[in-house]
Amino acid sequence: MLMRCKKKWCFSIVAIAVFMFLGSFNFVKAEEVYEDKGVELNVHSKKSWTVKFNNVVDSNTITAENIFVLNEDGGKVPVELQIGSEGKTVIVTPLKSYDYEKKYKIILKDGIKSKAGKKLIKSAKLDFTIRNKEDEYKSYTVCIDPGHGGEDSGYVSPYGLKEKSINLSVALKVGKMLEEKGINVIYTRKDDDIPWNSNEDLNYRIGMANNNNADYFVSIHCNYSDNPSENGIETYYRNWDPISQSLGKAIQDEVINNTQGRNRGIKPALSEQEILLGTKAHAIMVNLGFMSNAQETNILADSDFQYNAALGITRGILNSLNLSDNTKQKPTISSIKNISETISTGSSYTLPTFVQATMSDGSVRKVGVIWNNKNVNTNTAGTYTYKGKVAGYPQQVMLTLNVRGYSINSNVVTIDPGHGMGRDTGAVGGVVEDEVALKVGLKVGSILESHGVDVIYTRKTDQRSNGMSVNESLQKRVDVSNAAGARYFVSIHCNSFGNAYANGTETLYNVGNAESKKLALAIQNNIIKEVGTYDRGLKDGNWLYLVNNSKATATVLTELGFVTNSSDVAKLKSDAYLDKYARAIANGILKTMGKI
């Protein structure tokens, strides 16, 4: 099917490139047969097209011969072909704007293959016509949000400069520049006289954007730090929203280019930045500098800086409008499943910042959620209910948190394939650590289950897209194990070092815990015997987050080998050796449990 992701087209190609096109031109050679998928009108002059496959593509087949754009004369238009991070999408972007009111066609040829060598599509073409210059921007709505206001001054510099004043000054300049381009601009405030109180602030601002069906929501703020030397500009985006990320990057790049400020980069939204979670629009927050830095405060107060910052924000928005297509009706949220979680007393738990929603077009998306109560107390056993609000969804989302007293189940073992959650990807060398850990972890679990052990996995799939920080992913692993009352917690990893000669296997354990040492020794000795790696011995693991937070009787972490050593990598790449690693670990666990 052919999907549009707001001004950026998405081709969803399943099996044989099923995507919706209409119409045709006569400038394709007669002997070439293309599946004609139609005509799209009123296309943005900077339109990027995203072709989505259901398999990882072979990058060697993503070439100008297999994917290209033709103009009315049949000549090729210079485009950039970029493979998405997940390997299943190709973004086709013109190197310069298409000509207004001209006709083009994008061609996909059947030479595109998957990594497995299979053809992914039949040759196909889509015709499209670029809109006229006057219509380029007028169909868009952008909500500009000057942070704080009224009695809420925001951060205040040591010299009395108020953040709310800087935010408003820059915001009004941005709005004026956008309006001059024909864009419909909505302001959450245009002066310091705001009609809502502090308790209504968040809902009022979100409501302004949602009620006006804004395409983009741009919140303008300044920063603050206890360290007076901190400085620079940074932009936050919703980490489950790729258009938000692209918008954030475009604005950050342009603001830095126009102000020459220190570039602190773009960052996923923090849980406390709820303003970015509640809007239906693609939302970002730009922080223009630090009110706590005396030198930077003087810069923030300068009218030239404010103008240049506004110009950068405006250019970033204009450069990104082609990502968002509002000419088709947006899918709405059909349903959101309520959530039930079980943890043990004393565990750390953070309410999720997003939930999975089923959309009216059948797709599943992550959407931001704002909870009625942010306080989570796990010290007392019981059942606790939280109510969440999602933009564009009339019903409440319910989260039930079951907190139960902790008790050890002697037959439960947690297998933790290291890394592979959110931004925690592990080491990369001749192999990728989280991929090896997952393969071995699943094999270990299967062997244990065949011996009647109840196995809990911290993950059974690649979870890199879930947006967790490293600390959040570590706590999630511990919570999963603690909730199950696991007797043993076994974490599987690979090692890495700058010196390629470093090699071998080592196992870290809880020094001072006799059963942890016994388990670690059994696993370590079995791997050395079964796999034949160099024996680096047992190591002190008392510094590990897992060791300090797991309630299991014994927690160990084994480093199979070095991803930076050719000899170890040869084993870590081999399915036969991965079986040996798994068998050695499983037998070490079973021996310590007294099952063999």
* CA distances in angstroms from 334 to 277, 319, 368, 395, 422, listed in the order given: 18, 32, 15, 10, 27
Residue at which a domain ends, from 305, 323, 341: 323
Please report the pLDDT score of residue 322 as a whole number: 64
In which order are the strands placed within the sheet that holds 505-509?
Answer: 454-457, 409-417, 486-495, 554-562, 505-509, 535-540
Residue 103 tokens read as 């006709």
- Domain shared by 301 and 445, yes or no: no
- Shared-domain flag, residues 239 and 375: no
Inter-residue contact 406 to 389 (CB < 8 Å): no
Same domain, 385 and 456: no
Which strands make up the sheet holding 370-371, listed edge to edge? 339-344, 397-404, 382-389, 370-371
Residue 6's pLDDT is what?
38
pLDDT digits (tens), the chain, 596 positions: 333 343 334 444 333 333 433 333 334 444 467 788 788 888 878 788 888 888 889 999 999 999 999 999 999 999 999 887 678 889 898 988 899 999 999 999 999 999 888 888 888 898 999 988 777 777 789 999 999 999 899 999 988 899 999 999 999 999 999 998 889 999 999 999 888 887 788 889 999 999 998 999 999 999 999 999 999 999 999 877 888 999 999 999 999 999 999 999 999 988 788 889 888 899 999 999 999 998 899 999 999 999 999 999 999 999 888 655 554 556 788 999 999 887 778 777 888 887 888 988 788 888 888 888 878 888 888 899 999 988 878 899 999 998 877 778 889 999 999 999 886 778 999 999 999 999 999 999 999 999 999 999 999 998 877 667 888 889 999 999 998 999 999 999 999 998 999 999 999 999 989 999 999 999 999 999 999 999 999 999 999 999 999 999 999 999 999 999 999 999 999 999 999 999 999 999 999 999 99
Q: CB-side exposure of 159: number of CA atoms within 13 Å?
A: 10
> Is the residue at 288 inside a domain?
yes
CA 100 to chain centre: 35
Q: Residue 328 falls within a domain, yes or no? A: no
Q: Let me know how many helices (H) and strands (E) the chain has, helices first.
A: 11, 29
Report the domain count for the chain. Answer: 4
Q: What is the pTM of this model?
A: 0.53
Same domain, 536 and 441: yes
In the beta sheet, which residues pair with residue 554? Answer: 488
Residue 345: CATH number of its domain? 2.60.40
Asked if the structure places residue 62 within a domain, the reply is: yes
Write down the pLDDT at residue 329: 56
Same domain for 450 and 313, yes or no, is no
Same domain, yes or no: 347 and 292: no
CATH number at residue 463: 3.40.630.40
One domain, residues 191 and 112: no
Q: Which of 404, 432, 454 is the last residue of a domain?
A: 404
What's the first-to-final CA gap in the chain, in angstroms? 54
CATH number, domain containing residue 55: 2.60.40.1220
Residues 417 and 521 in one domain: yes
Q: Are 244 and 238 contacting, i.e. CB atoms less than 8 angstroms apart?
A: yes
Is 475 within 8 Å of 348 (Cβ atoms)? yes
Do 471 and 520 lie in one domain? The reply is yes
Question: DSSP readout, 266-324?
Answer: EEEPPTT-GGGTS-SSEEEEEEEEETT-HHHHHHHH-HHHHHHHHHHHHHHHHHHGGGB
Do residues 40 and 174 both lie within one domain? no
Q: Is residue 76 part of a domain?
A: yes
Residue 305 domain-assigned (yes or no): yes
> 55 in a domain, yes or no?
yes
Is the domain of 420 the same as that of 568?
Answer: yes
CB 406 within 8 A of CB 345: yes
Q: Name the domain boundary from 323, 347, 375.
A: 323
Residue whose tokens read 């809007």 = 279
Taking alpha carbons only, the member of 284, 361, 463 closest to residue 10 is 361
Residues 218 and 119 reside in one and the same domain:
no
Look at residue 205 and tell me if it is in a domain: yes
Host domain of residue 279: 141-323
- HSE-up (13 A, CA, CB side) for residue 8: 23
